[in-house]
Amino acid sequence: MALNQLEQSQVKGLQEFIEEHTEWQKPSDWVDIRSGALPNSAYYLVAHSAPTESGGTYTVETYPQFPILPTISNSGTYDVFVDGIKIATTASATDTTLDWGTLYTAGTVQTVYTTTHPSELVYHVVRITPTVSTNTITALRQPDVTSNTSYGALWVHFSLTNAINLANFLGSDGSPFYRNTLCEAVTANDNELKLSGSSRALSRYSGALKKLPILNLEANDNNVNFYRAFQNSGIKEIVFKNGTIQQDQIFAGSQVEKIITENAAVKISGRTFENCKQLKSLPNLTFDSSAYLAFSKNNSLENVVIDASEGKSIVNITLTGEATDKATGVKGLVVSNEAPFTSSSSPQLNVSYTGLNRAALVNLFKSMPTVSAGQVCDITGATGVDDLTASDIAIVTGKGWTLTR
């Protein structure tokens, strides 16, 4: 029996409620690397296709290698354990590459764990810890590659008390690039991880990631590098604590729906939120010395009014939807009457295809500064564009702006 419109909306609402309130569930055939995690360690659950043997030599076709590149304090060495067996001791900032075929051939590892999720795979528990227990893991990443590469991390768990730099942790810098598309969760003891850096940490990551711990910034407040940290990633919810996040394109192109700040704020910088098509609400924002404010194609925002009146250094604001998919949830914007709006890119203020009605547009016009270099404000396709009167338009043209629609 088909559902009527009311029933359909009720079911949709229930589905959204369930998705919002369901924590990530560990697949039943994954070892729980949180349980009994040893201190001062990072754990990976790493998968690959079942090895095949011929003439005593093993080969692995899918995800054949898994490299690890930690930095250890005091330039100490680190130990690598696979399924509880120590297989390497390596110098800090030197990578250890787990070549599964080689390890199977040597008899160093064998198949202990298998999983049917996300598909029929073999997996191992990899543990990294400083050789000297008083040292710490200060950074963890994977090395740059010479061609686009995918690795088989399923889950990463941090059992640390110190802050760690996760730049290029699951996604890479530049091109060619690497990514860990199977990884569903990054967890930490007490669900909180102290960060000292995270540039491109999940960049180019896509799809599976559902779980991040609370990211605590207090170790390096306002200096934790988040450049493109979550760009194009699939993570839907991110929680920041105790600090200010600022960098260009932090969330650009990602699937993030919600950014929660606990005693924290996101400082707008460049294309911080560009093309975040699933983002429903904005976190606590600051503008301070921000020059560019770019919110293009954030078409899922709901009932958002942006108060950029403290942004006295802003040179360009792009807060737009698309002609075929308007950002109707963007309801308002006010700016600083001291902002220079002197970017060479025109329009210097763009609220096209947004939900700003006549009252919101007039409110924006009243907040805008007087300019003298032919600056342009584009309101094409905004909700209230056809309702503006000549005197409404004169508010902004009287300040030296050209208004286009």
Partner 1 sequence: MVYKKIQNPEGDYKDVQNERWDVLEAHEAWTPQGKNVGWDAFESLEEAASYYGLTYDPFIPEEELDNQEEID
- Stretch near partner 1 under the rule CB under 8 A, chosen from 4-12, 123-131, 338-346, 356-364: 338-346
CB closer to partner 1 out of 213 and 321: 321
The single-letter DSSP state of residue 218 is G
CB closer to partner 1 out of 153 and 285: 153
Answer for which of 80, 333, 349, 403 binds partner 1 (CB under 8 A) is: 403
Q: Does residue 346 bind partner 1 (CB under 8 A)?
A: yes
Give CA 42 to chain center in angstroms: 21
**What pairs with residue 91 in β-bridges?**
77
Binding mask 115-154 for partner 1 (x = CB under 8 A): ---------------------------------x------
Answer for which of 48, 141, 204, 331 binds partner 1 (CB under 8 A) is: 204
Structure tokens at 37: 């995690």
CB closer to partner 1 out of 82 and 182: 182
What gap in Å lies between CA 361 and CA 342, rounded to an integer? 21
What gap in Å lies between CA 178 and CA 209, rounded to an integer? 15
CB closer to partner 1 out of 37 and 167: 167
- Stretch near partner 1 under the rule CB under 8 A, chosen from 11-19, 74-82, 259-267, 374-382: 374-382
Q: How far is the CB of 390 from partner 1 (least distance, A)?
A: 9
The single-letter DSSP state of residue 354 is B
Q: How far is the CB of 235 from partner 1 (least distance, A)?
A: 15
Answer for which of 132, 208, 219, 393 binds partner 1 (CB under 8 A) is: 393
Structure tokens at 135: 């040292």
Q: How many CB atoms lie within 10 A of CB 390?
A: 7
DSSP string, 91-133: ETT--EEEEHHHHHHTTS----EEE-SSSSEEEEEEEEEESST
Q: Specify whether the CB–CB gap between 278 and 300 falls below 8 A.
A: yes
Q: How far is the CB of 373 from partner 1 (least distance, A)?
A: 10
Q: Does residue 28 bind partner 1 (CB under 8 A)?
A: no
Answer for which of 347, 351, 355, 365 binds partner 1 (CB under 8 A) is: 347
Q: Does residue 162 bind partner 1 (CB under 8 A)?
A: no
Q: How many CB atoms lie within 10 A of CB 29?
A: 11
Q: Does residue 184 bind partner 1 (CB under 8 A)?
A: no
Q: Does residue 380 bind partner 1 (CB under 8 A)?
A: yes
H or E stretch including 365? helix 358-367
Site residues for partner 1, 51-90, by CB under 8 A, read: none
Give CA 274 to chain center in angstroms: 12
- Stretch near partner 1 under the rule CB under 8 A, chosen from 3-11, 22-30, 183-191, 376-384: 376-384
Q: Does residue 232 bind partner 1 (CB under 8 A)?
A: yes
Q: Does residue 321 bind partner 1 (CB under 8 A)?
A: no
Q: Specify whether the CB–CB gap between 195 and 217 falls below 8 A.
A: yes
Q: Does residue 378 bind partner 1 (CB under 8 A)?
A: yes
CB closer to partner 1 out of 253 and 355: 253
The amino acid occupying position 107 is: G
Q: Does residue 397 bind partner 1 (CB under 8 A)?
A: yes
Cα diameter, the chain: 86
**What pairs with residue 114 in β-bridges?**
122
Structure tokens at 138: 């200060």
Burial (CB count <10 Å: 0-12, 13-18, 19+), residue 68: buried
3-state helix, strand, coil in the chain (%, to 5): 15, 35, 50
Answer for which of 132, 145, 208, 376 binds partner 1 (CB under 8 A) is: 376
Q: How far is the CB of 118 from partner 1 (least distance, A)?
A: 18
Q: Which residues bind partner 1 (CB under 8 A)?
A: 148, 174-175, 177, 204, 206, 231-232, 253, 344-347, 374, 376, 378, 380, 393, 396-398, 400-405
